[in-house]
Amino acid sequence: MSPLLSKPRRSVRKPAPPETRTLDVAGRLMPLTIKQHELATRITLRIEPGGRALKMTIPSGLAEREVNAFLDRHQGWLLTKLAKFSTEVGLRDGSSILLRGISHRIQHTGSLRGLTEAVVVDGTAILRVSGMPEHLGRRIATFLKKEARSDLERLARFHSRSINAPINSIAMKDTRSRWGSCSSQGNLSFSWRIVMAPPSVIDYLAAHEVAHLKEMNHGPKFWALCNKLCPHMDEAKYWLKRHGSLLHAIDFD
């Protein structure tokens, strides 16, 4: 009887580490991350949420000249897509910021101390901000985080009670890849930037993550439950798809 011959082990080649470079798009310098993927059969290029960076996936071993040629061919596409971010206005006295879908004019009070507060004066929505001018963005971000926590904790716990699904914890984060998440332990997290969206969109995000407490997937049962919790789900999803990136584009630093 012939001895059993073991099959030779195939060597597994580690993927090359991502390459980072800066791409000049008509004078606009964009951070670009290029990642090789052994299963990729074509080049894909996407703009990261907020329009501040680019991510490219290429087949393993693709020649650099082909990468450069692809980027050259897609300069026009990048210009068109990045144009919607070119109107971004820095946060300063007199500029505007959204709060629950309503544009508020930023008013720096000039006082070193005081609360950041949203008020209406003669029919105009105003966000009053105190402190040093260089800390304006940071103070606005702190205010938005507090408002987001207030809204999302209330909405999430309301929806969780309606389906008898307890929440373990709720956290506010500044994630760019997703608006929220739910762990198997019942821990919910949300991007506080959602508080700039209309109330119906904030409610949808809360309902979406609470639905994951029952359905940890995006299958038909999940979407049916999400729609039950939030009947305006489709309109909210459309708003996020159309405007969500602009909320990520605001720089609070």
Q: What CATH number is attached to the domain comprising 158?
A: 3.30.2010.10
In a domain, 8, yes or no: no
Instruction: Tell me, yes or no, whether 31 and 119 share the same domain.
Output: no
Helices (H), 190-250: 199-211, 220-229, 233-249
Instruction: Tell me, yes or no, whether 79 and 100 share the same domain.
Output: no
Instruction: Tell me, yes or no, whether 104 and 137 share the same domain.
Output: yes
Reported as a single tens digit per residue, the pLDDT across 71-102 is: 988 887 887 777 776 544 468 888 889 999 99
**Domain that includes residue 62, residue range:** 19-85
Extract the tokens encoding 101. 């879908």
In a domain, 74, yes or no: yes
Q: Which residue has the higher pLDDT, 82 or 146?
A: 146
- Total domains in the fold of the chain: 2
Question: Would the pLDDT of 2 be above 50?
Answer: no
Instruction: Tell me, yes or no, whether 154 and 65 share the same domain.
Output: no
Instruction: Tell me, yes or no, whether 176 and 59 share the same domain.
Output: no
Instruction: Tell me, yes or no, whether 106 and 224 share the same domain.
Output: yes
Q: Which of 236, 190, 197 is nearest to 98 (CA)?
A: 197
Beta sheet of 117-121, edge-to-edge order = 96-99, 102-108, 124-129, 117-121
Extract the tokens encoding 190. 């949300």
Q: What percent of the chain has pLDDT over 70?
A: 91
Instruction: Tell me, yes or no, whether 109 and 223 share the same domain.
Output: yes
Question: Would the pLDDT of 157 be above 90?
Answer: yes
Q: How confident is the model at residue 14 (pLDDT cuts 50, 70, 90)?
A: low
Reported as a single tens digit per residue, the pLDDT across 35-71 is: 999 888 999 998 887 777 889 999 998 899 999 999 9
From 85, 115, 135, the end of a domain falls on 85
Please report, as a single letter, which amino acid is at residue 76.
Answer: G
Separation between Cα atoms, residue 158 and residue 165, nearest integer Å: 10
In a domain, 14, yes or no: no
Reported as a single tens digit per residue, the pLDDT across 165-175 is: 999 999 999 98
Instruction: Tell me, yes or no, whether 142 and 191 share the same domain.
Output: yes
From 42, 63, 85, the end of a domain falls on 85
Instruction: Tell me, yes or no, whether 237 and 161 share the same domain.
Output: yes
Question: Would the pLDDT of 176 be above 90?
Answer: no
State the average pLDDT over residues 133-138.
89
Reported as a single tens digit per residue, the pLDDT across 99-134 is: 999 999 999 988 877 889 999 999 899 999 998 888
